[in-house]
């Protein structure tokens, strides 16, 4: 079980990375126990995820079965939290970065909390004026989140920009496949 102190350090490390400070990595427990406890970040990101799902429900076509949507989206959320870490085992091995695997996953897990916290206000603003200029805010935030994700991958793997882009694309592709799978179950 994760302590509040370790969670605070993980969130602070992710915040420092968001500010462009690679020293944020020093706040993560990248041992085997810290690796497993970093998945607790999913609970910290859950309120943001739930808010994003509920905001999206308003855009679903036709009559919406909200409990069904929440069930499918929750399953997709859990899959998304574990699919990339499984793929990253092979990606890190292929890149010759096996020693950085735990650091990568721990950093990305805590980064997801920051990402959720940033995405919710943008989605809320866009929902206030659908189709208006505010609808561009989530797109801008998404681009910023992608850049942050790329940066976390780059510093945690201690790799070049190109390799970090490749890993970011792999991670994004897995997330998109999971999201599309969930949508096929809903519609």
DSSP string, 84-113: HHHHHHHHHHHHT-GGGHHHHHHHHHHHHH
Average pLDDT over residues 111-139: 84
Contacts of 1 (CB under 8 A, 6+ apart): 37
Average pLDDT over residues 119-144: 82
Contact between 34 and 133 under an 8 Å Cβ cutoff? The reply is no
Token code pair at residue 54: 């509920």
Does 170 score more than 80 pLDDT?
yes
pLDDT digits (tens, 9 = 90+) for 100-111: 999 999 999 999
pLDDT digits (tens, 9 = 90+) for 60-94: 667 778 788 889 999 999 999 999 999 999 999 99
Token code pair at residue 155: 């510093």
Note the helical H segments in 19-135. 32-37, 41-57, 66-95, 101-128
| Best CA proximity match to 166, nearest among 90, 113, 64 | 90
Number of domains in the chain: 1
Domain span holding position 25 = 4-186
């Amino acid at each position: 079980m994760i302590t509040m102190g370790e969670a605070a350090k993980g969130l602070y490390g992710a915040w420092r990375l968001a500010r462009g400070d690679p020293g944020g990595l020093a706040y993560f427990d990248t041992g085997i126990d810290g690796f497993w406890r970093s998945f607790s970040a999913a609970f910290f990101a859950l309120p943001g995820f739930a808010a994003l799902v509920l905001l999206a429900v308003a855009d679903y076509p036709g009559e919406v079965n909200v409990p069904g949507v929440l069930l499918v989206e929750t399953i997709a959320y859990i899959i998304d939290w574990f699919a990339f870490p499984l793929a990253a085992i092979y990606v890190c091995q292929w890149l010759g970065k096996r020693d950085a695997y735990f650091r990568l996953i721990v950093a990305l897990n805590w980064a997801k909390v920051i990402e959720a916290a940033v995405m919710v206000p943008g989605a809320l603003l866009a929902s206030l004026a659908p189709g208006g200029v505010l609808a561009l805010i989530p797109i801008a935030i998404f681009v910023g989140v992608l850049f942050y994700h790329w940066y976390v991958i780059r510093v945690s793997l201690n790799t070049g920009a190109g390799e970090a882009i490749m890993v970011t694309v792999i991670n994004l592709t897995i997330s998109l496949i999971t999201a599309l799978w969930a949508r096929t179950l809903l519609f």
